[in-house]
């Protein structure tokens, strides 16, 4: 075992060990000061949730950094406007910190709204705004009154919690829009897709599936979304919530106030994707044709990818993977998808999982799997070597660590280049995993090269 920071012992579990079944993970904690955490802040959480709303203006109220680091870094695609990809900020300076930044914010909003005519504006508060005490809500109200569009303050001061609190702040801002649009002409068989961000165009794939089933997608929150759709989201009959960490609070509010039930789903992997479609079909049981169409769709789509998946499975069988992702719900899907292509999950961890998530992970995982909350790179690297994994699934900060170790990598975060959701996404995932795991480059990696040499020595 490697050294862990004091206080982190309970954030790492080896399944199958003594008393493992009873282990309750300590999680949802703030990271220990002084740890090399992979986690971000409240602002980051809000920014990722709202960013894909393409016809809205997004302005960061704070110093330039927060706006610079979140400028067009997510591959959340828009089929129309590209306004959201620009970086707008108040670039607060020393004088603004002393005298307040409200005037600057108001002027910036008025100028941008006049120029771009967005359908709404989101104003992200950063750490400093929370400290200098700008009344962002008052500015938003004034500008909204003057321009006639919703101007929504997002309470995303970085220090006011974790990334999860940022999701909540984003949901609160979104909720001010929901319920303000006209819901006539919405089909009785209608849904909202929550927690799906159209990375590499994934929302488009899902919309197509539901359309083929005869279900209307009122809005997707927030992949390729438009303000008008969000305003009428309360007219849908069911909410399907992916990436549960980010959007569950919104789904709960919609259930409370608009009576819309919600189901947790995942669109990743054949099993979970199919379950998501059937979940919707079961809900609309008044029209059995929907279930028929769902079954046909699943049959067709699976048949289309299955033979090729099997070929990948033959090549990948027995290979081991490490998973380190933002939300733990994604980790469940990834474990199932890896099993489908013959791979084992040796290490699984997340930045923001909760107690129940980790309990479920322990139940799903094979004995000996390492489960970790809020890991640091040293831990991740040692676990990878300890378990001798062939693949790492993670985000931008983990990629170079994997490569230094001579391990393949798959980006399952916002820098993914191919859609990984849906059936075609499962095939893309298999291709991507195979391309990296089976790359000839690893035969030159010292770890493999040494092993090959040892084996040939033993044989001789």
Question: Interaction with other proteins in 90-149: which residues (CB under 8 A)?
Answer: 90-94, 96-97, 103-105, 107-108, 111-112, 115-116, 126-128, 130-132
- Rounded to a whole number of angstroms, the minimum distance from the CB of residue 202 to other proteins is 20
405 binds other proteins (CB under 8 A): yes
Q: Residue ranges of the alpha helices (H) in 235-344?
A: 244-258, 270-283, 288-316, 328-340
* Pick from 168, 167, 173: nearest CA to 153: 173
Q: Which stretch binds other proteins (CB under 8 A): 38-46, 169-177, 338-346, 427-435?
A: 38-46
Give the number of other CB atoms < 10 A from CB of residue 321.
28
- Rounded to a whole number of angstroms, the minimum distance from the CB of residue 380 to other proteins is 8
Alpha-carbon distance of 314 to 341, in angstroms, equals 8
Sequence-separated contacts (24+) of 213-216 with Cβ below 8 Å: 213/277, 213/280, 213/281, 213/290, 213/293, 213/294, 213/297, 214/189, 214/287, 214/289, 214/290, 214/293, 215/187, 215/189, 215/190, 215/191, 215/280, 215/284, 215/290, 216/186, 216/187, 216/189, 216/190, 216/191
- What DSSP character marks residue 29? P
Residues numbered 431 to 450 that lie near other proteins (CB under 8 A) are 445-447, 450
Q: Work out the widest C-alpha separation in the chain, in whole angstroms.
A: 83
72 binds other proteins (CB under 8 A): yes
* Residue in 62, 181, 195, 408 binding other proteins, rule: CB under 8 A: 62
- How many residues touch other proteins under the rule CB under 8 A: the total is 80
- Rounded to a whole number of angstroms, the minimum distance from the CB of residue 252 to other proteins is 24
* Residue in 30, 296, 310, 314 binding other proteins, rule: CB under 8 A: 30
- Rounded to a whole number of angstroms, the minimum distance from the CB of residue 409 to other proteins is 11
- Rounded to a whole number of angstroms, the minimum distance from the CB of residue 220 to other proteins is 21
Task: Name the residue nearer to other proteins (CB basis): 424 or 445.
Answer: 445
Alpha-carbon distance of 139 to 194, in angstroms, equals 29
Residues numbered 301 to 330 that lie near other proteins (CB under 8 A) are none
56 binds other proteins (CB under 8 A): no
- Rounded to a whole number of angstroms, the minimum distance from the CB of residue 133 to other proteins is 11
Q: Which stretch binds other proteins (CB under 8 A): 279-287, 305-313, 398-406, 429-437?
A: 398-406
Alpha-carbon distance of 3 to 317, in angstroms, equals 32
Alpha-carbon distance of 109 to 57, in angstroms, equals 9
21 binds other proteins (CB under 8 A): no
* Pick from 153, 169, 150, 172: nearest CA to 161: 169
Report which secondary-structure segment, H or E, holds 163: helix 163-175
- Rounded to a whole number of angstroms, the minimum distance from the CB of residue 437 to other proteins is 16
Backbone angles phi, psi at 455, to 5 degrees: -60, -45
Look-up of token digits 């206080």? 7
Which residues, including other chains, have CB under 8 Å from residue 270's CB and lie 6 or more apart? 302, 305, 337, 340, 423, 426
37 binds other proteins (CB under 8 A): yes
33 binds other proteins (CB under 8 A): yes
* Residue in 3, 18, 286, 363 binding other proteins, rule: CB under 8 A: 3
- Rounded to a whole number of angstroms, the minimum distance from the CB of residue 70 to other proteins is 8
Residues numbered 368 to 397 that lie near other proteins (CB under 8 A) are 377-378, 381, 396-397
Alpha-carbon distance of 293 to 288, in angstroms, equals 9
- Rounded to a whole number of angstroms, the minimum distance from the CB of residue 90 to other proteins is 6
* Residue in 66, 123, 305, 437 binding other proteins, rule: CB under 8 A: 66
Task: Name the residue nearer to other proteins (CB basis): 128 or 433.
Answer: 128
Residue window 159-188: x/- pattern of binding to other proteins, with contact defined by CB under 8 A: xxxx--------------------------
Which residues, including other chains, have CB under 8 Å from residue 459's CB and lie 6 or more apart? none
- Rounded to a whole number of angstroms, the minimum distance from the CB of residue 276 to other proteins is 30
Residue 231 exposed, middle or buried by CB count within 10 Å (0-12, 13-18, 19+): buried
292 binds other proteins (CB under 8 A): no
Task: Name the residue nearer to other proteins (CB basis): 20 or 445.
Answer: 445
Backbone angles phi, psi at 118, to 5 degrees: -75, 165
- Rounded to a whole number of angstroms, the minimum distance from the CB of residue 146 to other proteins is 15
């Amino acid at each position: 075992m490697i050294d862990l920071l004091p206080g982190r012992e309970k954030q790492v579990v080896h399944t199958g060990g003594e008393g493992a079944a009873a282990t309750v993970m300590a999680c949802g904690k703030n990271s220990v000061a002084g740890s090399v955490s992979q986690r971000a802040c409240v602002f980051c959480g809000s920014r990722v949730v709202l960013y894909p709303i393409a016809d809205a203006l997004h302005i960061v109220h704070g110093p330039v950094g927060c706006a610079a680091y979140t400028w067009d870094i997510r591959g959340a695609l828009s089929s129309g406007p590209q306004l959201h990809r620009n970086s707008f900020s108040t670039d607060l300076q020393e004088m603004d910190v002393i005298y307040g930044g409200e005037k600057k914010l108001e002027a910036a909003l008025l100028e941008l709204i006049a120029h771009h005519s967005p359908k709404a504006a989101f104003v992200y508060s950063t750490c400093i705004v929370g400290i200098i005490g700008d009344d962002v809500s008052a500015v938003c109200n004034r500008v909204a009154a003057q321009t006639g569009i919703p101007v929504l303050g997002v309470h995303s001061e970085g220090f006011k919690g974790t990334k999860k609190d940022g999701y909540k702040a984003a949901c609160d801002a979104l909720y001010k829009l929901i319920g303000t649009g006209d819901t006539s002409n919405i089909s009785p068989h209608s849904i909202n897709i929550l927690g799906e961000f159209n990375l590499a165009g994934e929302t488009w794939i899902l919309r197509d599936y539901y359309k083929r089933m005869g279900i209307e997608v009122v809005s997707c929150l927030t992949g390729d979304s438009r303000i008008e759709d969000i305003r009428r989201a309360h007219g849908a009959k069911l909410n399907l919530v992916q990436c549960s960490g980010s959007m569950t609070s919104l789904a709960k509010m919609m259930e409370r106030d608009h009576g819309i039930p919600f189901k947790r789903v995942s669109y990743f992997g054949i099993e979970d994707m199919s379950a998501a479609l059937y979940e919707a079909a079961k809900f609309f049981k008044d029209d059995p044709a929907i279930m028929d169409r769902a079954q046909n769709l699943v049959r067709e789509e699976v048949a289309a990818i299955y033979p090729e998946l099997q070929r990948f499975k033959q090549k990948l069988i027995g290979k081991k993977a490490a998973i380190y992702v933002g939300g733990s719900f994604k980790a469940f899907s990834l474990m199932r998808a890896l099993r489908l292509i013959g791979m084992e999950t040796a290490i699984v961890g997340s930045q923001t999982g909760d107690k129940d998530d980790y309990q479920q992970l322990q139940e799903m995982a094979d004995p000996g799997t390492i489960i970790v909350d809020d890991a640091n790179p040293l831990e991740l690297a040692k676990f990878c070597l300890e378990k001798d994994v062939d693949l790492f699934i993670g985000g931008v900060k983990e990629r170079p660590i994997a490569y230094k170790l001579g391990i393949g990598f798959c980006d399952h975060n916002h820098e993914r280049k191919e859609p990984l959701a849906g059936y075609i996404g499962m095939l893309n995932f298999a291709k991507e995993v195979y391309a990296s795991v089976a790359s000839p480059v690893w035969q030159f990696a010292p770890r493999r090269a040494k092993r090959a040499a040892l084996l040939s020595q033993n044989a001789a």
